[in-house]
Amino acid sequence: MVSSSISISGPRTLADTPKALAARLSGVSEPRVFTSQLKPGAIVAGKFTVVETIKTGQMGSVYLVKGPGGELCAMKVPNGNTAEILGPNIKALKGESDTLRILSEGSPSRHIPRFFEGPSEDHNHLILEYIDGVALDVEIKRGVPLKELLGITVDVIGALKTAWEFGIVHKDVKPANVVRRKDGSAVLLDWGLAKYEKEEGSVIGTPAYMSPEQMWGEDLDHRSDIYSTGILLHEMIARERPFSQSEKFLGFLRIKDEKEKRGLPVIQGIPGSVQKLLSKMTESDREKRHQNYDELLGEIKAIQQELSEIEERIAAFRYANKNCFYYPPRTVAEEPPSVFADTLLWVRA
């Protein structure tokens, strides 16, 4: 999909009042969009035929196009009606092109879209694999079982792990940048910020998902993406962001200047192991997070095994009591352990 990330320039200290900072943040959170307005049937670069618009955002638009052989691809073009707006968006598109070319040639992953063609002197478009699926921000509103959410998280981590093997940090992990294929697997899109060189004193990304170090313009490594993935997982489970963008921004001021720890809100009813996972992934101090992707994947897979065992126990209990019709269930002497009640909603929802 298309990034709606923002850039915030200038000092970020307690010398700025909270109201001023919130105003600055809210002022750029929903920028006006200038689209390239390609219509169905339009021919691009003499060989790509526009079928329909997939999505339009601040930085660019994505179109479904047919290639010379009739194959379906995704074409991404930058948006902007002035050099001031268009220039950075072209820069981000070229950075995404370079990133995806490296990943496609070096270590292809089905959790990262394949690269076909990038910008040149003659055109400013990026041709990628078309992912036929549903955006995660739409999917999670319908409600997704916890085991599936963990599977999506494993896929996203798989993409990030592949990128980190080349020293690449995504910098914009969020539901709108993840698409689920029809087979349920997830693909991480929008790699435009991965190689984007920001100006000194500016912040690039989506504040609600940023790590503290990203918000403060520090050098980033894979642990920043781990933090953002933790926010992603929390939102998938709770179906809402743990913090608004302005809350996140002001919260980081306290972390930076008062050394205050900002923990995630507790999600009622989920297994303790999942809450512990979320807390560790989103530690304000990156030295306290998971230090590598293998460590993180190992913890998630242990939780998946735990949930599978709970499912088996629930199924066994239901089978053993299939002829019982007690109301309410708590009157049954053989009532399952409380962990079943705490976890059942998330396993079977």
Backbone angles phi, psi at 260, to 5 degrees: -90, 135
- pLDDT band at 237, cuts 50/70/90? very high
Q: How many CB atoms lie within 10 A of CB 120?
A: 11
Average pLDDT of the segment spanning 272-291? 94
- pLDDT band at 33, cuts 50/70/90? very low
pLDDT at 83: 75
Structural domains in the chain? Answer: 34-130 (3.30.200.20), 132-309+324-349 (1.10.510.10)
Q: Which two tokens stand for residue 208?
A: 């609600």
Q: Which two tokens stand for residue 332?
A: 């049954």
pLDDT at 340: 41
Triad 243, 112, 210: Cα angle to 5°: 20
Is the confidence at residue 103, as pLDDT, over 90? yes
DSSP state of 107: S
Run of H or E residues at 78 = strand 72-78
* Amino acid found at 329: P
Among 338, 339, 236, 308, which Cα is nearest to 278's? 236
Triad 332, 337, 340: Cα angle to 5°: 105
Average pLDDT of the segment spanning 143-161? 95
Is the confidence at residue 222, as pLDDT, over 50? yes
CA distance 276 to 207: 23
pLDDT at 199: 61
Mean pLDDT score across all residues of the chain: 79
Cis peptide before 328 (omega within 30 of 0): yes
Is the confidence at residue 216, as pLDDT, over 50? yes
* Amino acid found at 170: H
Cis peptide before 119 (omega within 30 of 0): no
pLDDT (tens digit per residue) in 286-304? 999 999 999 999 999 999 9
* Amino acid found at 216: W
- Looking at 27-36, 80-89, 255-264, which range is the least confident one? 27-36
Average pLDDT of the segment spanning 57-75? 91
* Amino acid found at 4: S
Among 227, 295, 284, 232, which Cα is nearest to 258's? 284
CA distance 126 to 148: 31
Is the confidence at residue 206, as pLDDT, over 60? yes
Residue corresponding to tokens 């001021």? 253
DSSP state of 326: -
Among 30, 13, 58, 164, which Cα is nearest to 103's? 164
CA distance 245 to 209: 8
* Amino acid found at 185: S
Triad 74, 51, 36: Cα angle to 5°: 70
CA distance 108 to 59: 26
Alpha helices per DSSP H over the chain: 18-28, 83-106, 136-142, 146-164, 212-215, 222-238, 245-258, 272-281, 293-320, 338-348
CA distance 204 to 121: 26
* Amino acid found at 197: E
CA distance 74 to 160: 21
Among 194, 226, 206, 224, which Cα is nearest to 299's? 226
